[in-house]
Chains A and B, each alone.
Chain A
């Protein structure tokens, strides 16, 4: 009961390998155009990669290009894959009522009319909309329609559930309810969920995969990725400052010559990674929260502190703080401090952060 997947779509610069273990829910995150939809489409069989191979529970989904070697190419059409796809929009068939929509999967795979109907009613009840069974999709609200779509996908009894930003099109009242529903139905179910919301990853997924530019930038247990991000995107999700560079004795030296000292983090070595501690000279990152950064008008270099001159690009409200963005970093200060310093974009200030607040680790 495992998905193993590796595929290349040359035209989109997509080259991703991924494994989903039995009963595991994997969140896929990344900037727009990173290849998240390409990943789902190629697993579902709606897009044919140039090369690669994928297997789901021992069944070959595809074996294409040089991956097939001298052997024969293979391609399983979407309807034989057992990978139900749930998109941002519910895409309920507009000419069928809710119950018939849910019964569509079972009916299509040979279940009798009565049995399919019973299954539909059961799944509608499971997602809490059994009273809407007779409604046409046009008579459903966005949240109701998405619930019916969830029931429809689950009623097809998929081996792997593919969710493409299933909460993105919902209003702020429906999304939390749907998220709770997903938490319930995804428990112990093999699924891949593409999402922009770090909350989805935390609540729904066992593991998160970060895609950037068509490649896997980082993957690991959700909590670990958010606490120890190794990619700029994951750091952004966790709301952390992220400075990549080269490890040295005290911390990290960036390509621009900036030296940031911090404390080295002990990391569990990932599978296939060398044991830590990493040697100086290898790539590493310095990571620290915006709340640990102070802003000074001039260079106030206390001993175990990092201080670097930056030019303010933006000031924005952040909770009850003011977030100061400068030089690709962020600092959270109180509105009073911001007013005292008379901060405006374009101003040059010093960001100061204690070495003790900076985590340094190899990537």
Chain B
């Protein structure tokens, strides 16, 4: 039934709750509006297509794509183990994995520096192998993966828990070994959750600033991603900073729209899976 034709059901929302909800929406929307109003539209195109801007944008897209792939490759197994397995200290592991969500990114950057940096935990070993990670594009990807991984894990673990393990049990009794169950049952059932998790990870990578600056520095074309470029431009050319900010807002809006439309489409489309619905919701 289309949403317009559903009869109004009774909802018990007190007036003051509605009022505060409006204030909350204003808190989010007003700053964005203020920024849009400051955009210098006449110079908008030259500002966002300057060489340094395009370099930063290209680097951002490249590194974010790489870190999203890394998040999927590492985050899917982690989410599966957290959702399906039972082992000691599971709760602790789950909390630790979620830590980057609440940690100030600059702290994450320092932690990464003391892991992969020259004087870091693995730095000497990597040095011997001829690898220098800190202040390289690899460092940017690592920093982004560090902060974005929890988004994918949380969203996918939620989807896995919702879909439950009953289909997997049936598949096993039909003779499917664990590898085939994973590929042909587990993954397809949580695909919408995985997609929205990946999109959110990409968005978080794209916006990453603190950890990148601390761990990778701000070297044009190597580690200076779009957020770093915006921060730098703000000192010298505020108009350029605002214009580039708007580009990031546009990308973010597109990403969020993509992430939150998918489950709805899956639900109404072909009744594909019940797992999809809460996947996005878990991430907020």
Where the two chains meet, the residues of A that have a C-beta atom closer than 8 Å to any C-beta of B are 44-46, 77-85, 87, 91, 93-95, 104-105, 108-109, 136-139, 152-153, 156, 158, 162
Contact = CB atoms under 8 A, between A and B. Distances in A.
Interface stretch (B48-56, B92-100, B173-181, B236-244): B173-181
A152 B174 contact: yes
Interface stretch (B36-44, B219-227, B269-277): B269-277
Nearest to B269: A138
Interface size range of chain B in the complex:
20 to 34
Nearest to B185: A93
B167 A104 contact: no
| Among A45, A81, A104, A162, residue most surrounded by chain B Cβ atoms (within 10 Å) | A104
A78 B173 contact: yes
Given A93-B167, A93-B185, A104-B184, A84 B272 contact: no
B246 to A, nearest CB: 39
B171 interface: yes
A108 B273 contact: no
Nearest to B177: A79
Interface string B177-198: 1101100110011010000000
Given A82-B175, A84-B175, 4 more contacts: A79-B172, A79-B175, A80-B175, A105-B175
B188 A109 contact: no
User: Among the interface residues A83, A84, A95, which one has the most CB atoms of the partner chain B within 10 A?
Assistant: A95
B122 interface: no
Contacts of A139: 270
23 contacts: A44-B169, A45-B172, A78-B169, A78-B172, A78-B173, A80-B175, A82-B175, A91-B170, A93-B167, A93-B189, A94-B271, A95-B273, A104-B171, A104-B174, A104-B176, A105-B174, A105-B176, A108-B174, A108-B184, A138-B271, A152-B174, A153-B174, A162-B173
B171 A108 contact: yes
A97 to B, nearest CB: 10
B189 A94 contact: yes
Given A136-B270, A138-B271, A91 B166 contact: yes
A326 B181 CA distance: 54
A108 B175 contact: yes
A137 B191 CA distance: 17
A94 B176 contact: no
A80 B270 CA distance: 33
